[in-house]
Amino acid sequence: MRAIILVMDSVGIGSAPDASLYDDLGAETIGHIAEACARGQCDNATREGPLLVPNLVRLGLGEACRLASGQVPPGLDAPEAEGRFGCAVEVSKGKDTPSGHWELAGVPVPFEWGYFPRTIPCFPEDVVKRLCERAALPGILGNCHASGTEIIARLGDEHVRSGKPICYTSADSVFQIAAHEDEFGLKRLYAVSEIARELLDPFNIGRVIARPFRGSHSGYVRTHNRRDYSVPPPDQTILDLATAAGRDIVTIGKIGDIFAHRGTGRNLKGDGNDALFDRTLEGIEALSDGGLLFANFTDFDSIYGHRRDVTGYATALEAFDGRLPELFLRLRSDDFLIITADHGCDPTWKGTDHTREQVPVLVLGGDRLREVGARLSFSDVGASIAAHLKVGQVPNGRAF
């Protein structure tokens, strides 16, 4: 009797009821990708035609989209779903990674995050001054809202010449620090990020992210040595409950960082979705009875969603779907699997930020007579995992 949560980072399925407050009314990550594929707009040398995700469709992805948006996207129809399916609405304010994951784990964010203004410079002068003093920096570059790939392309050469890290933010509650792994040093970047985390605590900034990159004047590329420095969740998540109950816990990818390494057990990392799937399979094979595995697949969001790469996103979805049978073969009869998401990042939408969307809740195992349906909080995922594992109750949510 084990529990497994797979988070397809940013795979939203339709505007949330409050999407207009975020200027996201009409955003629909899966639906718009499927429509683009059906129109032939995602055809290239390696893929063509409609979005092909048969395993997710059999679990009920298309019907979950119908619940959320009122229609099944092209190519996602199924005669009958084999799994239980539903959709969920986020009650936490914002559309960021920590809020989405914490709420999935049973703890909605009850407060407003701190954000930086869309001015140049955007960071408080005193914070920048203290960061430079404590980290022995000659200064910083950027100090603005920016796309991560754009800003390293624009300022990468100056960063290498000057030794000044590139600091920027986004619509999320985040302070990001980009630096060259070789010229600046990876350990030094992490040390600077730790200082920034301490300085920004009074401002209620959700995450400081170390964003290492490599390359030269001809082109800079971000690496997978990213590290997030998050504030801890404000209450006991499903990870905390399982830890207190002495359960085996395996977390995959950036789950450890998102939860400030509290209750995250053995954390397995991987370079990209395919490697993360390998780590997930390894984790499941080693997971003890009564254990919990919690995985995040970040490429959908970080590589394709934010970069508004519709074809890349479609290809990544199809690759993820193609590996699901390997996972199904490793499930035991009493295991409980939930595949979901933490927010949207519609690659057809304006800008480069996340989109406020509902998420799919696709379930295998548990009480097969009970429908999932439309859930009023992501916390129902955590509540259902807690009920299956019998480790008590998370602070919020109703089990399906």
Q: State yes or no: pLDDT of 155 exceeds 70.
A: yes
How would you classify the pairing of strands 266-268 and 249-252? parallel
Main-chain dihedrals φ then ψ at residue 361, nearest 5 degrees: -130, 100
| Residue 121: cis peptide before it, omega within 30 degrees of 0 | yes
Q: What is the per-residue pLDDT across 344-385, written as a single tens digit (0 to 9) for each?
A: 999 999 988 899 999 999 999 876 657 899 999 999 999 999
User: What pLDDT is attached to residue 367?
Assistant: 67
pLDDT at 280 over 80: yes
Tell me, what amino acid is at 239?
Answer: L
CATH of 125-229, one of 3.40.190.10, 3.30.70.1250, 3.40.605.10, 3.30.70.890: 3.30.70.1250
- Cβ-contact 145, 169 below 8 angstroms: yes
Kindly state the average pLDDT of the residues 27-49: 95
Fold for 3-110+234-389, please state it: Alkaline Phosphatase, subunit A (3.40.720)
The CB density around residue 282, as the number of other CB atoms within 10 Å, is 14
Domain boundaries, the chain: 3-110+234-389, 125-229
For residues 262 and 240, what is the distance between their CA atoms, to the nearest angstrom? 7
CA-CA distance, 10 to 386, in Å (whole number)? 24
Spatial contact of 170 and 145, defined as CB atoms under 8 Å apart: yes
Q: Which of 40-49, 112-121, 277-286 has the highest mean pLDDT?
A: 277-286
Running DSSP on this structure, what letter comes out for residue 396?
Answer: S
Q: State residue 368's pLDDT score.
A: 66
Whether the pTM exceeds 0.95: the reply is no
d(CA 119, CA 341): 31
> What's the chain's average pLDDT?
94
What SS3 class is residue 2?
coil
- Fold agreement (3-110+234-389, 125-229): no
Tell me: the pLDDT tens digits for 187-229?
A: 999 999 999 999 999 999 999 999 999 999 889 999 989 999 9
Determine the average pLDDT of the residues in 260-276.
Answer: 94
Name the band, by pLDDT with cuts 50, 70 and 90, for residue 119. very high
Give the separation between CA 230 and CA 264, rounded to whole angstroms: 13
**Residue 285 · residue 250 · CB < 8 Å:** no
Over residues 166-171, mean pLDDT: 93
- In this prediction, residue 148 carries a pLDDT of 83
